[in-house]
Copies of this chain bind each other. A is one copy, B any other.
């Protein structure tokens, strides 16, 4: 559902992703989605039936895609510290590939899931669930300090989502000379975050290493 997309529904979903990310559910315009997808608006209703259905289909796909990658990491049998490193890297890569994902995630959290049906909510929930599972295992094995897995989830992924989703406003703030972002590339940000999380989550016995 990413960039190429030859079939109508896929092109529509790709266009919808950009529109919903930039404007939010309420701000998104069906006409604009149709135009961006280069399909007639009637086609869009022919395939999906409503704006809401497009939105839910899109979110279900993207949450399921992200969760699948995290679950694959969880099922590895590597040390938890490595898995956490991978979670950060993998989500960063996923968001780089699906640039609309951070914005939509930020908006949906703020929205309280108002536009989501139970199935889509379930897909959304599988993301923190997968991360929490990894952290929980680490805590059980005493390689991660005693922390609530959901607290760890937010500590790990919220910075990533807000940093990557905040790219447009940072551009704006930089243009107005209101903030100094010298040398903070996305790549460096990811490495800084990995480092911070290694330090923040390591069990006391496992501390000292900073790689």
1/0 per residue, CB under 8 A from B, across A149-172: the answer is 011001100110111011011011
Q: Which of A25, A26, A155, A180 has most B Cβ within 10 Å?
A: A155
User: What DSSP secondary structure best describes chain A's contact surface?
Assistant: helix
Q: How many residues of A contact B (CB 8 A)?
A: 65
A125-B173, A159-B159 given as contacts; is B150 within 8 A of A110 (CB)?
no
A181-B150, A184-B151, A199-B199 given as contacts; is B210 within 8 A of A165 (CB)?
no
Contact among B27, B150, B196 for A179, CB-based, below 8 A = B150
A195: chain B residues within 8 A (beta carbon): 147, 200
A141: chain B residues within 8 A (beta carbon): none
Q: Is the CB of A151 within 8 A of B106?
A: no
A72: chain B residues within 8 A (beta carbon): none
Cα A150 to Cα B167 in complex, Å, equals 13
1/0 per residue, CB under 8 A from B, across A122-162: the answer is 10110011001000000000000001101100110011011
4 closest Cβ pairs, A-B complex: A112-B168, A26-B27, A125-B178, A196-B200
Name A's B-contacting residues (CB within 8 A): 21-27, 102-104, 106-113, 118, 121-122, 124-125, 128-129, 132, 147-148, 150-151, 154-155, 158-159, 161-163, 165-166, 168-169, 171-173, 176, 178-181, 183-184, 188-189, 192-193, 195-197, 199-202, 204, 207, 210
Seed contacts A106-B110, A147-B195; 15 additional CB < 8 Å A-B pairs = A23-B111, A24-B24, A24-B110, A103-B110, A106-B106, A106-B162, A124-B173, A125-B178, A132-B179, A150-B184, A155-B192, A155-B193, A161-B162, A196-B200, A200-B200
